[in-house]
Amino acid sequence: MRQFQKILTVETNGPGLTEFTANAAEIVVESGVETGLVHVFCRHTSASLLIQENADPDVQRDLLAFFKRLVPDGNALFIHRAEGPDDMPAHVKTALTQTTLTIPIANGVLMLGTWQGIYLFEHRRRPHTRSVVLHVVGD
């Protein structure tokens, strides 16, 4: 069994989904693993990870609109505002989604479905540089 680990930097433009499927696929190829798993971990508390449709951009716009309505910035319910009115809402959105993904690998490629992509979901208003760890394990 072999293991391979790499940290990927994902640049965001503020709230929204940034796809990094191709980068993850390259890391899997670089690992040399033919059959196994890739574990993806977001090292932040105000951004998360999603596997989501990558064919119709309306899906991403609708998800963003839903989360904006579900947990609006500046909500008087929240006390934590150390970094602005989007601070605590970003943490809640992360808690409602996920910071880890595990994807099977077969024949040296990610076993994603036809319309699936891997996304970093930025929950803060301003652009950020995010760090995602990919750990590949298998034969």
**Dihedrals φ, ψ of 60, to 5°?**
-65, -40
3-state SS assignment for residue 14? coil
CATH 2.60.120.460, applies to 2-138: yes
Check residue 4 and report its DSSP letter. Answer: E
Q: Which residues of the chain have pLDDT under 70?
A: none
C-alpha span between 49 and 112 (Å, rounded): 15
pLDDT digit string, tens, across residues 4-28: 999 999 999 999 999 999 999 999 9
C-alpha span between 111 and 51 (Å, rounded): 12
C-alpha span between 51 and 60 (Å, rounded): 11
Q: pLDDT value at position 91? A: 98
The structure tokens listed for 15 are: 């709230």
**Tokens 């301003």 belong to residue:** 126
Q: pLDDT value at position 112? A: 98
3-state SS assignment for residue 115? coil
Contact predicate 41/102, CB 8 Å: no
pTM of the model: 0.96
In one letter, which amino acid is 118? I
Contact predicate 3/134, CB 8 Å: no
Q: So where are the chain's domains?
A: 2-138
